[in-house]
Amino acid sequence: MEFKLARINLSTQKVTEEKIDEKTLRRFIGGRGLGAYLALKEIPKGIDPFSLENKVYILTGPIVGTAAIESGRYHVVAKSPLTGILGDANSGGQFGPWLRFAGYDGLVLEGASEDPVWISIVNGEIKFHDAKHLWGKGVIHTEKVIRETMGVTKESLGSVLSVGPAAENRSRIAAVMNDRYRAAGRSGLASVIASKGVKAIWAYGNRKVLDELYDKRKYMEEAKKLIKKILEHPISKSLNEFGTAVLVNVINAHGALPTKNWTRGTFEKAFNISGERLAEVYLKARKGCWGCAIQCSRVSEVESGPFKTPISEGPEYETIWANGADTMIGDLDALVKANYLLNDMGFDTISFGSTVATLMEIYERAKKGELPEEKAKELFELLGDVNPEWGNPHALIQLIWMAAYRNRIGDLVAEGAKRLAEYFGVPEAAIHVRGMEMPAYDPRGINSMALSYATSNRGGCHLRAYSVSFDVLGVPKKFDPLGIDMEKVQLVKMQQDYFSFIDSVIVCKFNTFASGPEDYVELMKAAMGWEDFTVEELLETGERIYNTERLFAVREGTNYRDTLPKRLLEEPLPDGPAKGRTAKEALEKYLPEYYKLRGWEDGKPLPETLKRLGLEEFLYIVS
């Protein structure tokens, strides 16, 4: 199989084509893995993420766009302005497949354009277009204008990737958007794209990627078996019925729904913002990404009232949690509206809601006289008429606009929770790992998440290892979420390795509730002709990718140590089934065993680990 990249130099508007050789593809697959490898080789140590030397890798994988099994994704990789280490994020929708149909399996953005541009890619032809009239405009307007310009208004044809005002204004929590409502949200990478002067990318074409597979007939047979398995799984069924927000009530019942900026584990208004309520009151239709049979996306609307919102997609569980329970906002009208605006402005909804929760805590502490006088005075001045009381939905909506355009307090909110809290001298009010805000599962109530979060390479993240699957959902088997069990360590490592492969190939992680590495072995044999491919090789490939990502942080010299925010280690939960628990014991017991399994010491891969994984070219980083 040919895997073709277009290197686009924005400074010169020169494009060069590059083919990834078979050996590299087998070692790093595509997507996240290939991105990590290229970034570690090509992005110099210590650079400013907004400098010309940073590069953005927008990569698909070898089975993206090949029908079914949720293969409609792409992955973005660059040095993150939020964490200062390798950032990455992926998204569904349609952009991944259409990029391949347009003739390229991936793009590398280099240099920077003096004036804003948007790029069209149609059947292998890349053109640059003036984007001055789009700069400052929201994602929805941008997509509309580009589609009209290209003369393709039918939604199922072609796809636009774009960045919103948040990214143009260098917010460190800006999301790469595509198909209006889909986001490669985490790590703030949209601002790196904007720093290159790129507002949007249009992809369209008629390349037949399915025909390029090694054995198309066998591939389709294997894919059909997998789809059947996925569709029959009860989690797939509930994702279709209630969307990801089905988790609100489930996680709240476990006392692990972070509430009031992680000072509580249950939210009394959880039902008001649940997937069940979303389906009952707001749902207009169910929708899916390209080639997806699960269809977990919600099409929702607020028909009237102060938070009236046009028909749009979402909100997802994490968005509802971060902007809802974490800020104590129990009004789903407001959360649907906030989701719509956050998508249009191009924000990572997890980081944004978490940052607002941090601001609410800072505000409360300022009112109680717990901030230095001059800092409290400055805060009140910057807030003006914004009243970030816990549970105030109007403040949330105001802050979205203010952060997108960096007005007053919005200038600090756009920096993310860590920088905001540090600015006001209360770093402990920001709940993050490696500078990235954490998502919606409190490890004091689901203790395997202590290890999953602490060792996540890109920062506070539930998608490197989703150990909620075994601690709460019972996949592959049920554990006590509060019990210390060393088998969980093996499962966290296994998930991290398996998910590294999944994000590289690339398919949606929601199918991993039903699928296992063995399913992808057969698929890869048929797709690539790798007849001797095995489960062991698949997991070792994932492990190689995980180590490559870690090496980027080790090379930077900071931010590779694996720990959790002080609040989670030292402050027991005051409520719910996990009352009285911290995450300290779990992390202290799990981490040494994890390092043993990984072949790491103090967060760094050992030289023999790199040799075992064929990463000798990076030995210089650890020796």
Consecutive H or E run containing 544: helix 535-556
Axis crossing angle, helix 216-232 with helix 234-242, rounded to the nearest 10: 70
CB 393 within 8 A of CB 336: no
- Distances from the Cα of 446 to the Cα of 243, 251, 509, angstroms: 21, 9, 20
Which is nearer to ligand SF4, 176 or 289 (by Cβ)?
A: 289
In the complex, minimum distance from the CB of residue 189 to ligand SF4, in angstroms, rounded to a whole number: 19
Location of structure tokens 């709460």: 472
Please report, as ranges, the residues that interact with ligand SF4 according to CB under 6 A. Answer: 70, 92, 288-289, 292, 294-297, 508, 510
Pairing of strands 106-110, 3-9: parallel
297 or 609: whose CB is closer to ligand SF4? 297
Least distance (Å) between residue 179 CB and ligand SF4: 11
Q: Could you tell me the two tokens for 565?
A: 């925010």
CB of 11 to ligand SF4, least distance (A): 35
Angle at 185 between CA 591 and CA 551, to 5 degrees: 40
Between 510 and 552, whose beta carbon lies closer to ligand SF4? 510
Q: Which residue lies nearer to ligand SF4 by CB, 262 or 317? A: 317
- Dihedral of the alpha carbons of 165, 170, 175, 179, in degrees to the nearest 10: 40
CB of 508 to ligand SF4, least distance (A): 3
Cβ closest to ligand SF4, residue 396 vs residue 508: 508
**Is-contact 172 186, C-beta < 8 A?**
no
The partner residues of 110 in beta bridges, in order of sequence, read 9
Can the peptide bond before residue 506 be classed as cis, meaning omega within 30 degrees of 0? yes
> Judged by CB, which is closer to ligand SF4: 92, or 106?
92
Q: How far is the CB of 244 from ligand SF4 (least distance, A)?
A: 8
Of 297 and 407, which CB lies nearer to ligand SF4 in the complex structure?
297
What's the min distance (Å) between Cβ of 65 and ligand SF4? 13
Nearer to ligand SF4, 182 or 199 (CB): 182
* Closest to 84 measured CA to CA, from 457, 618, 465: 457
**Cβ distance to ligand SF4 smaller for residue 510 or 600:** 510
Residue closer to ligand SF4 by CB (options 402, 463) is 463
The SS3 call for residue 400 is: helix
Nearest to 542 by CA among 76, 36, 135, 200: 36
77 forms beta bridges with 57, 88
CB of 76 vs ligand SF4, minimal distance in Å: 16
Q: Which residues contact 336 (CB under 8 A, 6 or more apart)?
A: 282, 300, 301, 302, 307, 309, 314, 315
Q: DSSP for 109-135?
A: EES--SS-EEEEEETTEEEEEE-TTTT
